[in-house]
Structure 1
Amino acid sequence: MCPVYVAGLIGAGDRKSVQPMAARDGEVGYDQLHHFIASGVWDAAPLEKALLAEADRMVGGADAWLIVDDTALPKKGEHSVGVAPQYASSLGKTANCQSLVSLTLASREIPVMVGLRLFLPESWTDDPERMARARVPEDRRTALTKPEIAIEEIDRVIASGARFGCVLADSGYGSSGSFRQALSARGLKWAVGLSRRQNVYPADVALIFPVARAGRPRKYSIPDQPPVSAEALLSEEKWRRVNWRRGTKGRLTCLFAARRVRVADGHKHRMLDDRMQCMPGDEVWLVGERRSSGEQKYYVSNLPADTSLKTLAATIKARWVCEQAHQQLKEELGLDHFEGRSWIGLHRHALMTMIAYAFLQTRRLKAAGRKKKNRGTAATTEPAGHQTSHSRPLRTASTQTMPPL
């Protein structure tokens, strides 16, 4: 059934739900295909492990990114597992939808989706009967934030042996101090989005013991300067125009500024004026981006202190490839076409779409490799002084045009 289902996702037809796929196949009935995806007794773990192994073979390595994001599946009604009015980043608004935390392994601008895990809002985790009807497994009924789900998925990727050099995420994850600290605790490099309102300290902040005028001496040190917002700290920095890669319409450029800081995400301490203040954390990079539209974005990264601004910018902007993967999974492989209501059915359907996507990526890479090889052969057989399109210098793998899915 697995090859049949994957072939149905890849094949022709606008709708990739069970009924139309079974009708187009002609040899497998709807009941068979529905039973396989919604209630068949089989373990998804070996397939998930095989998917990670194939992704690592294609794009894994020290220069690969592991990109954390989420994607929304719009839904009507209230019975599909995890559906609720919630903010959908892909839609840019609050909508009735399911929200899945996604993990993408990518390098050379080639993404391979390796994880999709449903987030359950409080309206679900506070209702055991509702979760039971949707067949949510017992060990998945605990309320978890999206950053907590992401850490569990990252641990699964690490356990599989998949190789990557840096974790990327937007501010929905990066603004969580516990998420960043969990990444650091695992010895991972990361570059994540940050709220412009996040308080930070300059890197040279010092901890002092103020002298108390009366009473007992203070037990804890405090910063010798107050924190300021990320936006305020970078407002007076020198902003430089940086190009991080060549796109289809030329070089991609933007204004960037960076400064070493210590994020105010340490333990909370009561100050003399009775307010609570977070202490400085580890020293990291604070990076700002000013886009041509006037929009400003902020990021934080624990990349080494000698990292260049261009490398910081290229690392931050590498996250865009996961959006490409989300779009193709939905538009061409029917990620958002599943019509069942259960946890197991949704996650099996998502796994099948990821396997289909990985298969198509291998085909695209092979096609691109043949094209490159053929161009090189043609270039060596052309008469001297005669230049054709085949004898022009090839673009690098990071900018090479790939065939469409």
Structure 2
Amino acid sequence: MATGRALDELSRLLFGHLHRSDQQRWGQVYLQGLLRTHGKKTVRRMAATVTGSEAAASSLHQFVNASPWEWTPVRGRLARWAARSLPVRSWTLAPTVLPKRGDHSPGVHQRFLPESGRTVNCQLGLGLFLNAGQAHIPVDWQLFLPPRFTRDPAVRDRAKIPATAQAQPLWDHALHLVQEMTSWTEDGRTAPVVADLTTLCDITPLAQRLQGSGHAFVLAIPGQTALGGPELPPGERPSARALLLRRGVRHPAGAGRQIISYETPVRGVRPSGEHTQGAGRLMAEWDAGTGRPGRIWLTNITDRHPAELLELARSPRGAQSAVRRMGEDFGLLDFEGRSFPGWHRHMTLVSAAYAYGTLEGMTP
């Protein structure tokens, strides 16, 4: 993989604002190490690959785990750089499970993974990816923290978790990522939020707050999600699946496929707490074999064909594919440290390396 003038320019863009020249240098070395080191990306191997000396490993470790630089401005610069380079179709939210040994890494906990049917010791990250169809570029991250990491001062201090970081539901982390990305956009250009977080959290609060802020979204929801207004008691509100089966309209989608949709109001909550309501839609690909809808999605985008929106809904798969490649080739799973700031800095640098590797690969 080439790491020439274009990488030097990206390094200056990302790290040029850092006050100390040694921070700027080690940022570039770490980025080069992630791109050029084969196999596991330990700081020792990256240092040897880039500088020719393993002695530089301590400086790399210091840069990520202890050097006082903020990762948020770097991510903002990365996001704007990537957005200028890509035809962004959506902001896709994707969970990332990072297996861990022991119980000292920030956010580590036992979690059951439905897709594999087993329980693992892990950290759970949530990333925001810029979806451009062929490419899904990670630009921002949140780390899920179970309550034990924020209630116990000794645990918080050991993991260097700042007072501003609290135990929050995953939907709240998702909302923070969207708000942060919105603050980074140029000329106020946003993109629909797409996510499938149905196995991880209650999606309703996220949908309500995106609706209340006027942000377009396409969100997977469980089929048993109760819909309808507060005038109906919870037990009498129809489920999303029932509404599609009883009242849904089928649309041809080419190649013998059909999509079923149903127009439904979407309730929102504004930042002020005021409740709102707007037009929305349930939709799913129709499974002719079972005579039932497949994965069900809720959207507040009503001026585009359901087939176009369901194509957009495929983006979480692309983001998960990007996560796998980041783990295989860009050091996502190779962080050496147990601090909250270190985790965020490593994820920032891995994202930058992946963005560069992907976008340079797409450049004619």
TM-score (structure 1 length as normaliser) = 0.73
Report matched runs for 1:117-266 at 5 Å.
117-140=142-165, 142-161=166-185, 163-172=189-198, 175-201=202-228, 226-236=236-246, 237=248, 239=250, 242-243=253-254, 255-262=258-265
The Cα shift of 1:291 comes to 5.6
Q: Which one is further off, 88-97 or 31-40?
A: 88-97
The Cα shift of 1:94 comes to 3.2
Distance 1:44 1:293, change over 3 A: farther
The Cα shift of 1:199 comes to 1.1
In 2, Cα distance between the equivalents of 1:120 and 1:151? Answer: 16
Contact 2:224 2:241 in 1 (8 A): yes
Match of 2:311 among 303, 311, 314: 314
Contact 1:175 1:195 in 2 (8 A): no
In 2, Cα distance between the equivalents of 1:33 and 1:88? Answer: 33
In 2, Cα distance between the equivalents of 1:310 and 1:222? Answer: 31
In structure 1, what residue type is equivalent to 2:264?
V
Report the equivalent of 1:285.
281
In structure 2, what residue type is equivalent to 1:169?
A
Contact 1:190 1:303 in 2 (8 A): yes
Report the equivalent of 1:96.
121
Distance 1:238 1:93, change over 3 A: farther
Secondary structure of the structure 2 residue equivalent to 1:101: strand
The Cα shift of 1:65 comes to 0.4
Distance 1:292 1:58, change over 3 A: farther
Contact 1:73 1:336 in 2 (8 A): yes
In 2, Cα distance between the equivalents of 1:48 and 1:309? Answer: 33
In 2, Cα distance between the equivalents of 1:99 and 1:89? Answer: 14
Report the equivalent of 1:49.
76
The Cα shift of 1:260 comes to 0.9
CA shift digits 1:136-166 (9 cap, x unpaired): 11111x2211111111121111111253321
Contact 2:136 2:318 in 1 (8 A): yes
Unaligned runs of 5+ in 2: 1-25, 270-274
Report the equivalent of 1:343.
340
Secondary structure of the structure 2 residue equivalent to 1:149: helix
In 1, Cα distance between the equivalents of 2:286 and 2:320? Answer: 20
The Cα shift of 1:109 comes to 2.7
Is 1:360 the counterpart of 2:357? The answer is: yes
The Cα shift of 1:91 comes to 5.1
In 2, Cα distance between the equivalents of 1:280 and 1:54? Answer: 35
In structure 2, what residue type is equivalent to 1:242?
A
Secondary structure of the structure 1 residue equivalent to 2:168: coil
The Cα shift of 1:40 comes to 1.1
Is 1:296 the counterpart of 2:290? The answer is: no
Contact 2:259 2:286 in 1 (8 A): yes
Contact 1:98 1:119 in 2 (8 A): yes
Secondary structure of the structure 1 residue equivalent to 2:261: strand
Contact 2:92 2:194 in 1 (8 A): yes
The Cα shift of 1:293 comes to 8.9
Q: Which one is further off, 37-46 or 253-262?
A: 253-262
Unaligned runs of 5+ in 1: 208-220, 244-250, 267-278, 371-405
The Cα shift of 1:290 comes to 4.5
Contact 1:199 1:263 in 2 (8 A): no
Distance 1:291 1:325, change over 3 A: farther
Distance 1:85 1:182, change over 3 A: same
In 2, Cα distance between the equivalents of 1:174 and 1:144? Answer: 11
Distance 1:90 1:111, change over 3 A: farther
In 1, Cα distance between the equivalents of 2:71 and 2:355? Answer: 16
In structure 2, what residue type is equivalent to 1:287?
M
The Cα shift of 1:12 comes to 3.3
Q: Which one is further off, 187-196 or 306-315?
A: 306-315
Contact 2:267 2:278 in 1 (8 A): no
Distance 1:308 1:111, change over 3 A: same
In structure 1, what residue type is equivalent to 2:170?
K
Q: Percent identity?
A: 25
**Count, aligned residues:** 325
Report the equivalent of 1:12.
37
Report matched runs for 1:41-120 at 5 Å.
41-59=68-86, 64-88=89-113, 93-120=118-145
In 2, Cα distance between the equivalents of 1:292 and 1:338? Answer: 46
Larger radius of gyration: 1
Report the equivalent of 1:327.
324
Contact 1:170 1:194 in 2 (8 A): yes
Secondary structure of the structure 2 residue equivalent to 1:335: coil
Measured on the aligned residues, the alpha-carbon RMSD in Å equals: 2.9
Match of 1:35 among 52, 59, 62: 62
Secondary structure of the structure 2 residue equivalent to 1:287: strand
TM-score (structure 2 length as normaliser) = 0.80
